[in-house]
């Protein structure tokens, strides 16, 4: 199946043909308008919205073997040849990719295996993998949404720690969302400017993940992850990654300590927990201790989630981005444009889910000290994810510059913001630990109040490879924003950042906003 990056008009029409349906019957089958199906024929590169993506996933999964075979033939007439080529590429990466080599070496060391064992086990698993089965698994995973995950983790984590709980929010009569983000009342509504005097994480350990050990089950799952990474062509780059060692948060200030670890340590440990959970939910496996061996090993209870120095605790920063727009005859009054991304399946985190943008792992570029500031990550991610700076993407190119964020290298939109700091407002709005994978999440808000910025640069803003689509919403469209909050395609951390960002924007946005009234709760 060729929908690993999400459905397009072309692949949706291929499914229609495979099911031998007319436009009308296919529309009825999906419970969408007939004109929607017709639009896919007219615009084959058009991407259906997230709800329809999930419906298409489900209908493909329910299709007969004969229909699936017809579908595969239509979307990839040379599927077998492509599969052979993918296997050859994977075997080449296993032998030559230094990042895969680093992952294999790390796995041997932390599993207690003899050198070379990980390579042998990954090669053996790679030879047995069926890429089409992996793609079908991606379809099944697409049926599991944010609400399923939050509900399942509420059942798994029944232990309680005083004052800590899951972030919940109400946003209207009888409208509520519950997330998997573990937080505390003192960690919310921080109003913390992301400047050096308030944004004060410091590096305390440059070998943060050396203590990690893997039992037999965790080691074998890590080997499987590497084999699947190779088979599906997912990017894996072993760059330094900040890991949280301690946190001190109060309104207006972020402090604490981070260590510097390896990205592969995260990719082969905590990042495996989401896939294990989602696969269990898709297969109707009970979400409880004894059924999820990786979670039982790495993140068995709330106490282990809060013990950030005793485990791999990676994560990052993500921000609701609000850019002022002038009034116009077509759109109406002056507002903020709010940006939301649909994540690609090729990303390590929150694949095929909704998130605010920018969103990135907290990691240094070249300066370990200054890079520990949350604002440093958000400025880098703005350049990379919104303003097209591909040279900052360490999955695409080697980083050889002494100062990649030097003023002389900034994109024109970012330079215009940095030349006048009053134009760019960045605040941390909340902090939490995501029980999906134990990640730390710094929810933030980025506000650009100069409406000339959108007039001049709005046409240049575009998501990078990490997203398959970028949506815009008006800060004056209260009903549509309420529907956005209710969308089950959100990642838990993305929804957390959206809600906290909207709360803060309501306070500072003046006449440009008409937002849902959001009230949070910390539910134990």
Of the chain, the percentage scoring pLDDT greater than 70 comes to 95
pLDDT exceeds 80 at position 390: yes
- Of the ranges 111-125, 381-395, 434-448, 490-504, which one carries the lowest mean pLDDT score? 381-395
Q: What is the pLDDT of residues 229-245, one digit of tens each?
A: 898 888 888 889 999 99
Of the chain, the percentage scoring pLDDT greater than 90 comes to 64
Q: What is the predicted pLDDT for the residue at 458? A: 94
Q: What is the predicted pLDDT for the residue at 396? A: 59
Considering the domain boundaries, does residue 27 fall inside one?
A: yes
Q: What is the predicted pLDDT for the residue at 5? A: 57
Q: What are phi and psi of 226, to 5 degrees?
A: -65, -40
For residue 192, what are its two tokens?
């913390």
* Close Cβ partners of 287 (under 8 Å, ≥ 6 residues apart): 152, 153, 155, 156, 277, 280, 281
- Of the ranges 71-80, 141-150, 384-393, which one carries the lowest mean pLDDT score? 71-80
Q: What is the predicted pLDDT for the residue at 394? A: 66
Residue with tokens 């009342």: 185
Domain boundaries, position 332: 315-432+439-512
Q: Between 497 and 81, whose confidence is greater?
A: 497
Answer for the pair 381, 317: CB distance below 8 angstroms, yes or no: yes
Considering the domain boundaries, does residue 455 fall inside one?
A: yes
Considering the domain boundaries, does residue 153 fall inside one?
A: no
Q: What are phi and psi of 365, to 5 degrees?
A: -90, -70
Considering the domain boundaries, does residue 283 fall inside one?
A: no
Read off the pLDDT of each residue in 362-370 and give the average, rounded to a whole number: 89
Q: What is the predicted pLDDT for the residue at 194? A: 97
Q: What is the pLDDT of residues 288-313, one digit of tens each?
A: 999 999 999 999 999 999 999 999 99
Q: What is the predicted pLDDT for the residue at 85? A: 53
Considering the domain boundaries, does residue 108 fall inside one?
A: no
DSSP 187-235: GEEEEEE-STTTEEEEEEES-TTTT----HHHHHHHHHHHHHHHHHT--
Considering the domain boundaries, does residue 338 fall inside one?
A: yes
pLDDT exceeds 80 at position 520: yes
Q: What is the predicted pLDDT for the residue at 395? A: 64
Single out the residue of 260, 264, 263 nearest to residue 244, CA to CA.
Answer: 260
Answer for the pair 94, 230: CB distance below 8 angstroms, yes or no: yes
Q: What is the pLDDT of residues 238-275, one digit of tens each?
A: 889 999 999 999 999 999 999 999 899 999 999 999 99
> How high is the mean pLDDT of the chain?
90
Answer for the pair 47, 7: CB distance below 8 angstroms, yes or no: yes
- Of the ranges 41-50, 246-255, 276-285, 514-523, which one carries the lowest mean pLDDT score? 41-50
Q: What is the pLDDT of residues 148-171, one digit of tens each?
A: 999 999 999 998 888 999 999 999
Considering the domain boundaries, does residue 452 fall inside one?
A: yes
The reported pTM is 0.83
Q: What span, in angstroms and rounded, lies between the C-alpha atoms of 190 and 184? A: 11
Most confident of 92-101, 231-240, 506-515: 506-515
pLDDT exceeds 50 at position 3: no
75, 92, 121: which is the final residue of a domain?
Answer: 75
75, 90, 116: which is the final residue of a domain?
Answer: 75
Q: What is the predicted pLDDT for the residue at 78? A: 54
* Close Cβ partners of 336 (under 8 Å, ≥ 6 residues apart): 322, 323, 324, 325, 447, 474, 475, 505, 509, 512, 513
Considering the domain boundaries, does residue 65 fall inside one?
A: yes
pLDDT exceeds 50 at position 2: no
Single out the residue of 342, 339, 309, 343 nearest to residue 324, CA to CA.
Answer: 339
Read off the pLDDT of each residue in 104-124 and give the average, rounded to a whole number: 94
Q: What is the predicted pLDDT for the residue at 84? A: 53
Q: Tally the domains of the chain.
A: 2
For residue 54, what are its two tokens?
């999930």
pLDDT exceeds 70 at position 519: yes
**Cβ count within 10 A of residue 75:** 18
pLDDT exceeds 70 at position 82: no
Bridge-partner residues for 317, per DSSP?
Answer: 360, 442
User: What angle is formed at CA 164 by the lines to CA 307 and CA 318, rounded to 5 degrees?
Assistant: 75
19, 51, 75: which is the final residue of a domain?
Answer: 75
Q: What span, in angstroms and rounded, lies between the C-alpha atoms of 301 and 85? A: 43
Residue with tokens 């919310």: 188
pLDDT exceeds 80 at position 1: no
User: What angle is formed at CA 143 by the lines to CA 142 and CA 146, rounded to 5 degrees?
Assistant: 85
Q: What is the predicted pLDDT for the residue at 399? A: 64
- Of the ranges 138-142, 227-231, 330-334, which one carries the lowest mean pLDDT score? 138-142
pLDDT exceeds 80 at position 321: yes
User: What angle is formed at CA 187 by the lines to CA 181 and CA 191, rounded to 5 degrees?
Assistant: 120
pLDDT exceeds 50 at position 4: no
- Of the ranges 163-172, 209-218, 313-322, 412-421, which one carries the lowest mean pLDDT score? 209-218
Q: pLDDT class for 366, splitting at 50, 70, 90?
A: confident
For residue 200, what are its two tokens?
């004060």
Q: What span, in angstroms and rounded, lies between the C-alpha atoms of 323 and 454? A: 7
CATH of the domain at 388: 3.90.79.10
């Amino acid at each position: 199946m060729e929908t690993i990056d999400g459905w397009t008009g072309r692949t949706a029409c291929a499914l229609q043909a495979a099911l031998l349906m007319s436009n009308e019957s296919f529309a009825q089958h999906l419970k969408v308008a007939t004109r929607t199906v017709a639009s896919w024929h007219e615009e084959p590169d058009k991407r259906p919205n997230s709800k329809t993506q999930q419906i298409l996933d489900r209908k493909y999964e329910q299709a007969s073997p004969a229909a699936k075979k017809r579908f595969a033939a239509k979307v990839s007439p040379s599927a077998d040849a492509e599969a052979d080529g993918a296997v050859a590429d994977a075997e080449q990466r296993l032998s030559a990719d230094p990042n895969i080599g680093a992952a294999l070496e790390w796995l041997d060391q932390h599993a207690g295996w003899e050198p070379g064992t990980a390579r042998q086990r990954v090669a053996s698993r790679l030879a047995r993998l069926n890429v089409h089965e992996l793609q079908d698994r991606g379809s099944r995973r697409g049926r599991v949404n944010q609400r399923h995950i939050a509900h399942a983790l509420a059942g798994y984590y029944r232990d309680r720690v005083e004052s800590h709980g899951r972030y919940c929010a109400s946003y209207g009569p009888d409208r509520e969302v519950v997330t998997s983000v573990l937080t505390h009342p003192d960690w919310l509504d921080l109003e913390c400017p992301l400047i050096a005097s308030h944004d004060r994480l410091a590096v305390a350990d440059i070998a943060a993940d050396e203590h990690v050990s893997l039992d037999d089950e965790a080691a074998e799952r890590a080997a499987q992850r590497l084999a699947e990474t190779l088979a599906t062509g997912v990017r894996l780059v072993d760059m330094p990654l900040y890991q949280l060692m301690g946190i001190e948060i109060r309104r207006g200030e972020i402090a604490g300590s981070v260590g510097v670890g390896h990205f592969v340590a995260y990719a082969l440990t905590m990042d495996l927990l989401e896939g294990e959970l989602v696969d269990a939910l898709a297969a109707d496996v009970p979400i409880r201790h004894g059924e999820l061996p990786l979670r039982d090993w790495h993140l068995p209870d709330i106490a282990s989630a809060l013990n950030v120095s005793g485990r791999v605790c990676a994560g990052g920063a993500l921000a609701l981005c609000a850019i002022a727009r002038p009034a116009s005859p077509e759109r109406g009054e002056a507002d903020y444009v709010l940006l939301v991304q649909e994540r690609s399946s090729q990303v390590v985190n929150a694949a095929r889910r909704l998130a605010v943008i920018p969103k990135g792992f907290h990691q240094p570029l070249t300066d370990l000290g200054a890079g520990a500031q949350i604002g440093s990550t958000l400025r880098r991610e703005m350049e990379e994810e919104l303003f097209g700076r591909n040279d900052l993407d360490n999955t695409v190119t080697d980083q050889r510059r002494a100062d990649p964020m030097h003023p002389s290298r900034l994109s024109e939109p970012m330079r215009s913001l940095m030349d006048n700091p009053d134009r760019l407002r960045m605040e941390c709005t909340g902090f939490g630990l995501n029980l999906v994978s134990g990640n730390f999440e710094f929810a933030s808000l980025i506000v650009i109040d100069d409406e000339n910025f959108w007039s001049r640069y709005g046409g240049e803003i575009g998501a990078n490879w990490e997203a398959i689509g970028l949506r815009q919403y008006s800060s004056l469209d209260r009903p549509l924003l309420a529907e956005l909050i209710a969308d089950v395609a959100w990642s838990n951390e993305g929804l957390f950042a959206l809600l906290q960002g909207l709360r803060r924007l309501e306070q500072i946005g003046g006449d440009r906003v008409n937002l849902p009234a959001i009230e949070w709760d910390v539910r134990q």
